Chains A and B, each alone.
Chain A
Amino acid sequence: MNDKVTFWYGCNVVRHGDIIHSAITLLEAVGIEVTPAGGAGYCCGTAKDGNLRAAEGMGKRTVEKFNAHGTGQVVSWCPSCYRHMNAFMGEYTDAQFQLSNFAQMLHARRDVLAAKLTHRIERRVMLHKHFGFHEVDVNPLVEDLLRLIPGLELVTTEVSSPGHMCSALSRVPASLKDATRAVCDAAVSTQADTVATVFHSCQRLLCALEGREPFKVVNYVNLLTEAMGLPTQDDYKDWKLAGTEEAVIAKVGEARIAAMGEKLFRDSILPELLKQPAK
């Protein structure tokens, strides 16, 4: 396994800088030299099924940039990016790298990681699972990683939802409601005080449950970095929990709203931050 990797975090995860920074911290903690890459400039094009010319252009551009990194190893955070590279991009490009998933890489070096997890995390944690990421069976890998945290009690359930992450269910709202209700019911019945999400879109769509359910919603990488003594700040959750337009604006702050663009904030970002999970 290379000690140098490109860490491909994806597009939508940029809502969660805490997840990106924690993931990089963890890779570096297990001895990996990381070249981070993501955002619009490294999009896989998976959202462009209605415009294949754009999808192809984005795919070729991203693969060429990865080849230029010269690491020979791309570690993907996002299951959609991983899937799109595997099923499409890699079929018409000259990808000069191996592709793996973040959880796989961290799990392979869990012995190194375990020595860094020196801070007790007194939580009763249930993992929120989906069964659709068939390329990499991430759920047992993440459960193994959570078991490394001193003080953390992992409760296991059979509850697992369709899709590879919650955003996949958004196109069928009733299925997202079912998945949300299932995770709430399971957390309550197992008396979990924390629901750990695996992927960013689950964190995005479930984090606001904290405002009305008896558990916290935390991405697993933030639990791991917290166990390293490095607390994180989930701004996105903070904004989602604000609840009212005035409170969201106050929390995001005038300077950041101005930087985003007032119209874009009003038209697209504010409605997203005000939308609450349904179950």
Chain B
Amino acid sequence: MTKKTTTLREHLDDFIADTLARCTRCGKCFEACPMTRYSDGLTNAEPQATVSGVLDWLRQTPGNAESVAWLKVCTQSSRCIDACPEGINAMKMVRVGQMSAMGSLDVPAEQTKLIGRDAKDFFRVINAFAGTQMTAEEIERWQR
């Protein structure tokens, strides 16, 4: 992928196309994940089937239950990146799968499986703490 894109969606579409073309569904990324033991839904999950489910999310269609379970426990540990024999950024693949499962791409709302962590008071809390930790001048100069 060398083409420079001008929107996030264009970039994601390029990344998805490249990943779908190169991923062999070997399952090495899933096997390397240190988080799978934290999900009951992954106890007997087949690595190849789980990765296939993530690729379904990249295709904008709902993936299987194992893929949803994997998307839920990803904490961005990066082990999957080194494990991929094709050089795919598998951590980014999972994250884009999460975006899809949240309904941020083209999956219909009624088929989404994840909720974005978009707390409504996130920035109000950030601004409130900043007011206790920085001077008004620092906030004006550093944060505007």
- In the complex, the answer to whether A92 meets B7 with C-beta atoms within 8 Å is yes
Partner of A169, one of B5, B75, B117, B141: B75
- The yes or no answer to A25 lying at the interface (CB within 8 A) is no
Partner of B82, one of A20, A41, A134, A169: A134
- In the complex, the answer to whether A132 meets B76 with C-beta atoms within 8 Å is yes
Chain B 108-126 near chain A by CB (<8 Å), digits 1 or 0: 0000001111110111111
- In the complex, the answer to whether A39 meets B143 with C-beta atoms within 8 Å is yes
- The yes or no answer to A51 lying at the interface (CB within 8 A) is yes
State the CA gap A47–B83 with chains docked (Å): 26
- In the complex, the answer to whether B38 meets A175 with C-beta atoms within 8 Å is yes
Residues of A within 8 A of B122 (CB): 47
Overall SS of chain A's interface = helix
Nearest neighbor of A14 in chain B, beta-carbon distance: B130
State the CA gap A247–B114 with chains docked (Å): 38
Q: Which of A119-127, A217-225, A260-268 contacts B (4 or more CB under 8 A)?
A: A260-268
Residues of chain B touching chain A, judged by Cβ–Cβ distance below 8 Å, are 4-12, 34-35, 38, 72-73, 75-79, 81-82, 89, 91-92, 95, 98-99, 102-105, 114-119, 121-134, 138-139, 141-144
Residues of chain A touching chain B, judged by Cβ–Cβ distance below 8 Å, are 11-12, 14-18, 20, 36-43, 47-52, 55-56, 59, 83, 87-88, 91-92, 131-134, 162-164, 168-169, 171-172, 174-175, 235, 252, 256, 259-261, 264-265, 267-269, 272
